[in-house]
Amino acid sequence: MLSRKRSTGWRRPALVLVTGCLIAAIGFGARSSLGLFLEPLTAARGFTRETFGLALALQNLFWGLGLPVAGALADRLGAGRVIVVGALLYASGLYGMSAADTGTALHLSAGVLMGLGIAFSAFSLALAAMVRVVGPERRTLVLGLGTAAGSAGQVVFSPIAQGFIQGVGWSDALGVIALFVLAMVPLAFLLPGNRSNGPSGTVPGALDGHPPDQKLREALGEALAHRGFLLLSAGFFVCGFHVAFITVHFPAYVADLGLDASIGAWSLSLIGLFNIAGSLAAGVLGQRFSQKRTLAAIYLARAVVIVLLLLAPVSAVTVLLFAAAMGVLWLSTVPLTTGVIAQVFGVRWMATLFGLVFLSHQIGSFLGVWLGGVLYERTGSYDGMWWAGVALGVLAALLHLPIDERPRPRLRVPSAPPVRTV
């Protein structure tokens, strides 16, 4: 049995979970393929990698700025309505990117418009809807399932996007991806709202001990005064730096090594494939062990994997092995980071609080993408970015260790399951 939580009418928990996974797969999969357009787009338009990198850096920044707003609206109105708006903006940004013939147009379409579209259709909104239809004992597992679905989208979209780029050209390929994104609109109507009553007239969050009348301002004040929330946000900055830099610049890095462009596409797909296992494993580990310590281990492992890439001989096998190893560690941070938020603060304002943590992630993403382009144009190499990623991975591991992941006192009700911290 999935849960004893509130009824959602005809939207049974299984339907909500499947729908959330599909939305996560489409939204994340489409975005993860954008790095494949760096070389053909810049060559066709005469842009530099710095110009392209700034566009996707702006995308990550506006995604981060928009997500707290999108999360607050989803917590109030339901994720479905917000995702519809986001999917329309997302598809419009993709179409604008295909037609952009100046740097400014590219920055506005692929950067600002698409960034807001991704924020308002983010897979974290779908995760928030999914976690509300299961009990506390299933949360981290469901979060891992939803995150794995996003990675499955990356597995599918990377080779599809590369195939369309080769078959019909990069511009039309962006149009095809926009049509996939629009498929999120009908799916969004299958997600439940947040105002339906539970079996005893409760509102979302009340069944896990969260006061039904807690205001958004109170939730924000509580989180921002919690040292662990700030440390979690700082650590997630590093996740964004790693993931965004690799997503956007890794296909070009592979080409710079003298390897075929298809190796870059298959690397992104392989990252997504292995992250399915990594995300599911993180969900299971989060149910059994301390989530903060598991996060610390993941960040430290990322640093080690990057060092091995830089020291190993250049070959297709080396690149693909790196992609597989990084894939296990890729988004496995998401179910654990989200799980810490839900465990410490409850689920009533989970999308909002995750949005704030994610803003830090996206500031890291902005710097990872933009600095990658800047350093490449200045030095002709990505080596400086890789070594910065190593140092930040070690720092993130250390930042997570002092986090107090115990539930807040108001959530420590007799029926709550014990929290493992070792």
pLDDT of 42-62, one tens digit each?
Answer: 999 999 888 998 898 899 889
7 DSSP 8-state letter: -
Tens digits of per-residue pLDDT, 280-306?
888 788 778 888 999 999 999 999 999
Let me know the angle formed at the C-alpha of 361 by 307 and 225, rounded to the nearest 5 degrees. 120
pLDDT-derived band at 97 (thresholds 50, 70, 90) equals very high
199-203, 286-290, 334-338, 401-405: range with lowest mean pLDDT: 199-203
Please tell me the total count of domains within the chain: 1
CATH of the domain at 394: 1.20.1250.20
Question: Of the candidates 225, 238, 235, which has an alpha carbon nearest to the alpha carbon of residue 344?
Answer: 225
What does the pLDDT read at residue 2? 43
Look at residue 201 and tell me if it is in a domain: no
Average pLDDT, the chain: 84
Q: Tokens 């999917």 belong to which residue?
A: 87
In the prediction, which pLDDT does 199 show?
33
Domain contains 388: yes
Evaluate if residue 418 carries a pLDDT over 70. no
Q: Is a pLDDT exceeding 70 seen at residue 195?
A: no
| Predicted local distance difference test score (pLDDT) of residue 248 | 82
pLDDT value at residue 186: 93
Whether 3 is covered by a domain: the verdict is no
What confidence category does residue 76 fall into, taking pLDDT thresholds of 50, 70 and 90? confident
Residue range(s) defining the domain that contains residue 313: 13-193+216-408
- Inform me whether the pLDDT recorded for 70 exceeds 50: yes
Between 415 and 296, name the one with better pLDDT: 296
- pTM listed for this prediction: 0.73
Specify burial of residue 169 (Cβ count, 10 A radius: 0-12, 13-18, 19+). Answer: middle
Helix, strand, or coil (residue 190)? coil
Residue 203 lies in a domain: no
Tell me, yes or no, whether 1 lies in a domain.
no
Provide the 8-state DSSP code for 112: I
Q: Would 90 be classed as within a structural domain?
A: yes
Q: Is 156 part of a structural domain of the chain?
A: yes
Which pLDDT score is estimated for 209? 44
**Lowest mean per-residue pLDDT among 71-75, 138-142, 200-204, 256-260:** 200-204
pLDDT for the residue 79: 83
User: Is 209 part of a structural domain of the chain?
Assistant: no
Q: How confident is the model at residue 9 (pLDDT cuts 50, 70, 90)?
A: low
Helix 139-168 to helix 261-288 angle (10° resolution) is: 170
Q: Supply the pLDDT for residue 10.
A: 54
What pLDDT, on a 0 to 100 scale, did the predictor assign at position 412? 62
Structure tokens at 229: 């929330």
Residue 5, pLDDT > 80, answer no
Please give the pLDDT value at position 304: 97
